[in-house]
Structure 1
Amino acid sequence: MNILLTGGAGFIGRWVAKRLLEDGHRVWILDDLSNGREENISELRQHPGFMQFIKGTIMDEGLLGSLFDDQRFEICYHLGASINVQDSIDDPKTTFNNDSVGTFYILEQCRKHRTKVVFMSTCMVYDRCTDERGITELHPTKLASPYAGAKIAAENMVLSYYHAYGLPVVVVRPFNTYGPYQKTGGEGGVVAIFIKQKLNGKPLNIYGDGKQTRDLLYVSDCAQFVVQAGYSDKVNGEIVNAGLGRDISVNELASLIAGNPDQICHIEHIHPQSEIAKLLCNSDKAKQLLGWEPKVTLEEGIQLTQEWIQSTDLI
């Protein structure tokens, strides 16, 4: 198939692109490199299915129109977004424009060309988990940041195109994804940041009391889930979660990675109002509709991520 992947030079996008190419599709990547990096996809450029990298923004309606008119995409995996919670609190307008308005522009092209939409949302839209069976797709939402608010607004638009126009769409909500190619700086994920700090002999800084829990999904499992959602008609019009099904407190995660309690310290939280106390995913729907289950354990994933960071110049 001809596939457009927005945000394809980003962390998860790079893994989705790799999977789509391995599955034999022709892939166009659109990314403005605000979060992504061209080096993330450098090894993919040699693949015969890698058609083009376009440095551009989903806010450019003319660019989107030309791309869709020329290539007649059958699926659009829409991962392009502003993803930083703190940035959304400091500058909500940019996040709203990219995540909500930009998604609308994508939807309009997909409606015109009858292109299926796989929309990447986030577990950050959920309220805290109160059930040890985990958070299902029916769990209450709590929009504790403009990032979460913009994602829910976009989700609602995506689903409205399914009901109003019969457009095949699916909303995917992966839980906290980590692994190789994730940034190790302040805007990166907690696993990558902790590993880098450990390797550099620096303290692992935990915001707040560290009792907040996260369900950590290895990136290859996440990419497989996202890709499969595009292939299946069973999830059209649906919201679908994906996670490991195991949560771990940030304190426990730091101990697991550092192995040395003296390297761990607690600092004041920079955005406590957007913190979610407990995140634990229930992926039963993904298993039922897609046959998807995670394959990589947390311990395996941490080891793979550490090996990758050690093999790069990120330390």
Structure 2
Amino acid sequence: MPALPHLTTAAAEETVRSRLDKLRDARVVVTGGGGLVGSRLVALLRSAGCAVTVLDRMDAYPESGHETFGVARSGARLVVGDIRDADTVGTLLREADFVVHAAAYADVAACTRRPDIAFRANVEGTQVVLEQAARFPVRRLVLVSSASVYGNGVPGVEGPQVFREDMPLDPVSVYANGKLWAEHQTRLMLGAASGTEYAVVRYFSVYGEPQIPKPGSHSWMVPWLSLQARLGRPMRLNGGGNQVRDLVHVDDIAEATALALTEEQMAGQTVNVGTGRPTSVREVADLIAPYFPGSRRIVTPRPDGDPLGGYACVERSRELLRWQARIGVREGVDRYVRWLLETPEAMPRWLAEESGNPEEA
């Protein structure tokens, strides 16, 4: 597929904004809209003139995490509830034009520790949402999936792998397995026969201000490494920091997800949402270190279920979404660290009060 020409930032913003005009006055339900990605998406949809309803349990983060993300101040209607509650989900979808299903127990390490919770949230909860979307058809449901469905990619290949949407999928974690099930179940339950179109977006490694980590997680390496350096603790490089990630800024994620609601070619399709560029964990530490003179690095074991990593093939997202990520890793890390330095109250109290390093970073 020929790549689309690179757009300037101003032109790209205008193109996205003009295309999102199709959503003006649309009624959109965002499950999991209280988290980092969900709240950024809600803000974007509100700026496009949508009437947005958020369904979220609002318990994924300790202390004031959800307050930091700001969905309660977005002007969206906030319904505090569980996606496993069919009555609540059905009531909301009966009045909706579009749905973004982003709610999940969204932490690889936590899902490994508590597969029972992961099953209830990511499998049972998704089944309820799909059943209600089939019962009360909407114009389109966008399912938020994950690059974790690729696992470690093709066995025996050395170096960073490029993950293509049509390659064999081999999840290596409970979280990834749940996401792959959700993709299959969405395809089986929705489509022309149900009256609800669907589209699937596979997020790569999301980061960006005001992201904060959860206790006991090894995800979200930009905030983890930044916060450790800010506290004067060593930045922990699991497995030596040689794993690669396709780091995609939350602002870019929000744009791609919103466009997945409107682009006609996305009906029934699955696309990667990434930058198409690999970045190692060690490289991220190198970008953070200059902001914290004297910062140190230590090598720690790679956690179970933590993939070796790869990066997105972005040809399909360029073609079907007519979109490409605009924020590079250097700019994104700079924005995050500057936000952290300017917002000392964002430091999680549980992390600052720890006597040692977190279990996983």
TM-score by length of 1: 0.91
What is the CA-CA distance between 1:18 and the residue it aligns to?
Answer: 0.7
Q: In 2, Cα distance between the equivalents of 1:206 and 1:230?
A: 38
Question: How has the CA–CA distance of structure 1 residues 270 and 133 changed in structure 2, closer, same or farther, with 3 Å as cutoff?
Answer: closer
Q: Is residue 14–residue 40 contact of structure 1 (8 Å, CA) maintained in 2?
A: no
| 2:41 aligned residue | 16
Q: Which moved more, 1:31-40 or 1:129-138?
A: 129-138
Q: Is residue 185–residue 193 contact of structure 1 (8 Å, CA) maintained in 2?
A: no
Q: Which runs of 5+ in 2 are unaligned?
A: 1-25, 348-361
| 1:139 aligned residue | 167
Question: How has the CA–CA distance of structure 1 residues 218 and 41 changed in structure 2, closer, same or farther, with 3 Å as cutoff?
Answer: closer
Question: How has the CA–CA distance of structure 1 residues 205 and 185 changed in structure 2, closer, same or farther, with 3 Å as cutoff?
Answer: farther
- SS of corresponding position for 2:148: helix
Question: How has the CA–CA distance of structure 1 residues 13 and 25 changed in structure 2, closer, same or farther, with 3 Å as cutoff?
Answer: same
- SS of corresponding position for 1:13: helix
Equivalent position to 1:220, from 241, 251, 255: 251
Q: Which moved more, 1:122-131 or 1:248-257?
A: 122-131
| 1:128 aligned residue | 152
Equivalent position to 2:92, from 67, 76, 95: 67
What is the CA-CA distance between 1:252 and the residue it aligns to?
Answer: 1.9
Q: In 2, Cα distance between the equivalents of 1:43 and 1:56?
A: 15
Structure 2 letter corresponding to 1:193:
W
Q: Is residue 252–residue 325 contact of structure 2 (8 Å, CA) maintained in 1?
A: yes
| 2:103 aligned residue | 80
Question: How has the CA–CA distance of structure 1 residues 6 and 308 changed in structure 2, closer, same or farther, with 3 Å as cutoff?
Answer: same
| 1:106 aligned residue | 129
- SS of corresponding position for 2:302: coil
| 2:355 aligned residue | none
Q: In 2, Cα distance between the equivalents of 1:58 and 1:310?
A: 36
Q: In 2, Cα distance between the equivalents of 1:31 and 1:111?
A: 21
Q: Which moved more, 1:33-42 or 1:285-294?
A: 33-42
What is the CA-CA distance between 1:270 and the residue it aligns to?
Answer: 3.1
Q: Is residue 127–residue 140 contact of structure 1 (8 Å, CA) maintained in 2?
A: no
Structure 1 letter corresponding to 2:207:
Y
Q: Which moved more, 1:179-188 or 1:145-154?
A: 179-188
| 2:287 aligned residue | 256
Equivalent position to 1:167, from 192, 196, 208: 196
TM-score by length of 2: 0.80
- SS of corresponding position for 2:232: coil
Equivalent position to 2:233, from 194, 202, 218: 202
Q: In 2, Cα distance between the equivalents of 1:91 and 1:184?
A: 18
What is the CA-CA distance between 1:307 and the residue it aligns to?
Answer: 1.8
Tell me which stretches of 4 or more aligned residues in structure 1 moved more than 4 Å. 129-133
Q: In 1, Cα distance between the equivalents of 2:125 and 2:208?
A: 27
Q: Is residue 4–residue 73 contact of structure 1 (8 Å, CA) maintained in 2?
A: yes
Q: In 1, Cα distance between the equivalents of 2:69 and 2:283?
A: 33
Q: In 1, Cα distance between the equivalents of 2:295 and 2:41?
A: 38
Structure 1 letter corresponding to 2:300:
I
1:60-80 CA distances to partner (integer Å, 9 max, x unpaired)? Answer: 1121122233xx101111100
Q: Which moved more, 1:221-230 or 1:157-166?
A: 157-166
Indicate yes or no: 2:262 matched with 1:240: no
Equivalent position to 2:205, from 166, 176, 179: 176
Question: How has the CA–CA distance of structure 1 residues 43 and 132 changed in structure 2, closer, same or farther, with 3 Å as cutoff?
Answer: closer
Indicate yes or no: 2:178 matched with 1:150: yes
CA RMSD of aligned residues (A): 2.0
What is the CA-CA distance between 1:134 and the residue it aligns to?
Answer: 2.1
Q: Which runs of 5+ in 1 are unaligned?
A: none
Structure 1 letter corresponding to 2:55:
L
- SS of corresponding position for 2:39: helix
Question: How has the CA–CA distance of structure 1 residues 197 and 127 changed in structure 2, closer, same or farther, with 3 Å as cutoff?
Answer: same
Q: In 2, Cα distance between the equivalents of 1:41 and 1:252?
A: 27
Equivalent position to 1:268, from 297, 301, 314: 301
Q: In 1, Cα distance between the equivalents of 2:224 and 2:111?
A: 20
What is the CA-CA distance between 1:107 and the residue it aligns to?
Answer: 1.1
Q: Which moved more, 1:163-172 or 1:302-311?
A: 163-172
1:93-151 CA distances to partner (integer Å, 9 max, x unpaired)? Answer: 21112111111111111112211210000001103355878211012212111111111
Q: In 2, Cα distance between the equivalents of 1:8 and 1:43?
A: 7
Q: Is residue 289–residue 295 contact of structure 2 (8 Å, CA) maintained in 1?
A: no
Q: Percent identity?
A: 27
Structure 2 letter corresponding to 1:73:
A
- SS of corresponding position for 2:170: coil
